[in-house]
Chains A and B, each alone.
Chain A
Amino acid sequence: MGKRVKFSFPPEMVKEPVIYKLGRDFEIVTNIRRAEVREDVGWVVLELDGEDAEIERGLAWVGTTGVRVDPVSGDVIDG
């Protein structure tokens, strides 16, 4: 099973090809499962396949772009 994540795009990042670059610049295969992208907001739920360390590196880079990375099913911490 690959790593399942949710990317949230702030308005200024909606048009950036972050997922494309993630696949191009890292040894990671991206597989989009569900998404909603509008002018002002966007999110994408996807699966990432690759070595754990490479995925960690790739996600750290995504974080630096201003795109938020979260688990797909919400926080696992509960009240």
Chain B
Amino acid sequence: MAFVNGLKCRECDREYSSEALNVCDFCFGPLEVVYDYATISEVISRDSIASGPLSIWRYRDLLPADSEHPVDIMAGYTPLLKAHNLGKKLGLKNLYIKNDSVNPSFSFKDRVVSVAATKAVEFGFDTLACASTGNLACSVAAHAARAGIKAVVFIPSDLERGKIIGAAVYGPTMISVEGNYDEVNRLCSEVADNYPWAFVNINMRPYYAEGSKTLGYEVAEQLGWRLPDHVVVPTASGAMFTKIWKGFNEMACLGMLEGVDSYSFGPDQNTVHHPAVTTKMHMTQAAGCSPIVTAWENGSPHVMPVRPNSIAKSLAIGNPADGIYSMRVINNSAGTAYAVPEDQVVPGIKLLAETEGIFTETAGGVAISGLKHAVESGAIKPDELTVVYITGNGLKTQEAVESVVNPLTVKPFMSSFEEAFNHRPE
């Protein structure tokens, strides 16, 4: 069972029961899940977590859905690796990679969709839907298959092949929309208003977004119930960024961290900040779509929407739903925000692959080049414990790194091999 009291508007505090709703009827502000932390604190412990499954559902007490029957394809519990080689290259002695590219559908989206799908089944929906630039579509289709319900996924028609196939293989109804970004957005928002489907990032959004908290919990657990000094996060809507921070603070407030006393959540569960949480949150976006970074750099209280034009399609969200909230997280955590130049995205992918043997997609290239910048600018010091989140898999965006393919082509004779091998380019 879920320890949830209901939903609450982030702007005007109006309360709602737990239903399929994401916007306050009164002020149109976003709704967030309200937890019964008093009960959670009685049942949760490091042992209860350790005895759970090796998926996000080990943190079931802090997820807003029925954990008896989760739609679970084993999202989460992904590796946290110490990155000696990349650390050396960048001048960091304590660098870790949270490798979320190895989730079942190959991105962190499995965390959020597992929660949304579980909730959708709980509410009795027979169709799981989304509008996506790729990763979300793959995850929605996969989870719907697992749950035995229908899937409808909308994608822009110019998507990378790996993402189209990676979603289509699970057998969803796939709608490829021929239109620009704004047109795709408009169509999908109209469809969502008119069809009785569980749109994971629309009417399921309050529950969906909570799944990303597990990226915070796992890092804390894998570091031996400590928090890092810094995290570097690739960002689109800002949902994951804010939820990692929330996850860290929940762990601290519930007394789960080494040497940290529990702390009251107070009246606003979404902005609680335990004084022991000193992790600095570094946001990275690609320059071709960086509305949150721009607002943060200008000190603006408003995120001005942009029309995305970036190689990092998974981060290309022009009007980020959690933009303003993620700016507050940057400021509350004394973090930074940086727009990675478009021509530094592929070098980031290659750097990670060549130093650590991990092949990430364009979002990961943004994270790695953003990390490099944070070190060079002095925001991250050599000894500080740093975690970079790698959230998607390189096999989905192969087009971006086509240029790495330069094999030595030889005839099937030893002489031909030796000729080519001895004269290979450096």
Q: Which residues of A contact B (CB under 8 A)?
A: 1, 4, 8, 10, 33-34, 36, 38, 40-43, 45, 47, 68, 70-79
A76 touching B302, Cβ below 8 Å: no
Which residues of the other chain, A, contact B188 by a CB distance below 8 angstroms? 76-77
Q: Return B195 CB to nearest CB of chain A, in Å.
A: 13
Whose C-beta in chain B lies nearest to the C-beta of A4?
A: B28
Answer whether A33 and B321 are a contact pair too, CB < 8 Å, given A71-B185, A79-B132: no
Chain A CB within 8 A of B413 CB: no
- In the complex, what distance in Å separates the CA atom of A43 from the CA atom of B323? 14
Chain A CB within 8 A of B3 CB: no
- In the complex, what distance in Å separates the CA atom of A72 from the CA atom of B321? 9
User: What count of chain B residues pass the 8 Å CB interface test?
Assistant: 48
Given A34-B11, A71-B319, A77-B184, 6 more A-B residue pairs with CB atoms under 8 Å apart are: A8-B305, A41-B301, A68-B304, A76-B192, A77-B132, A79-B314
Stretch at the interface among B19-27, B74-82, B346-354: B19-27
Which residues of the other chain, A, contact B23 by a CB distance below 8 angstroms? 4, 72-73
Answer whether A76 and B28 are a contact pair too, CB < 8 Å, given A34-B11, A41-B301: no
Cβ-neighbour of A76 out of B29, B109, B131, B135 (below 8 A): B131
Q: Which residues of B contact A (CB under 8 A)?
A: 11, 22-23, 26-30, 109, 130-136, 156, 181, 184-185, 188-189, 192-193, 199-202, 205, 236-237, 300-302, 304-305, 313-323, 363
Which residues of the other chain, B, contact A33 by a CB distance below 8 angstroms? 26-28
- In the complex, what distance in Å separates the CA atom of A43 from the CA atom of B302? 8
- In the complex, what distance in Å separates the CA atom of A79 from the CA atom of B301? 24
Q: Return B327 CB to nearest CB of chain A, in Å.
A: 14
Q: Return B75 CB to nearest CB of chain A, in Å.
A: 15
Whose C-beta in chain B lies nearest to the C-beta of A74?
A: B321
Main SS class of interface, A: strand
Interface CB pairs A-B, < 8 A, 23: A8-B302, A8-B305, A34-B11, A41-B300, A41-B302, A41-B304, A70-B305, A71-B185, A72-B28, A73-B23, A73-B205, A73-B321, A74-B320, A75-B317, A75-B319, A76-B131, A77-B131, A77-B156, A77-B184, A77-B188, A78-B131, A78-B317, A79-B136
Q: Return B40 CB to nearest CB of chain A, in Å.
A: 28
A74 touching B131, Cβ below 8 Å: no
Q: Return A20 CB to nearest CB of chain B, in Å.
A: 20
Answer whether A78 and B27 are a contact pair too, CB < 8 Å, given A43-B302, A70-B305, A71-B189: no
Which residues of the other chain, A, contact B201 by a CB distance below 8 angstroms? 76, 78
- In the complex, what distance in Å separates the CA atom of A11 from the CA atom of B29? 24
Which residues of the other chain, B, contact A79 by a CB distance below 8 angstroms? 109, 132-136, 236-237, 313-317, 363
- In the complex, what distance in Å separates the CA atom of A53 from the CA atom of B188? 18
Which residues of the other chain, A, contact B199 by a CB distance below 8 angstroms? 76
A78 touching B189, Cβ below 8 Å: no
- In the complex, what distance in Å separates the CA atom of A47 from the CA atom of B133? 28
Answer whether A73 and B184 are a contact pair too, CB < 8 Å, given A41-B301, A78-B133, A78-B237: no
Which residues of the other chain, B, contact A75 by a CB distance below 8 angstroms? 185, 237, 305, 317-321
- In the complex, what distance in Å separates the CA atom of A49 from the CA atom of B205? 25
Q: Return B300 CB to nearest CB of chain A, in Å.
A: 6
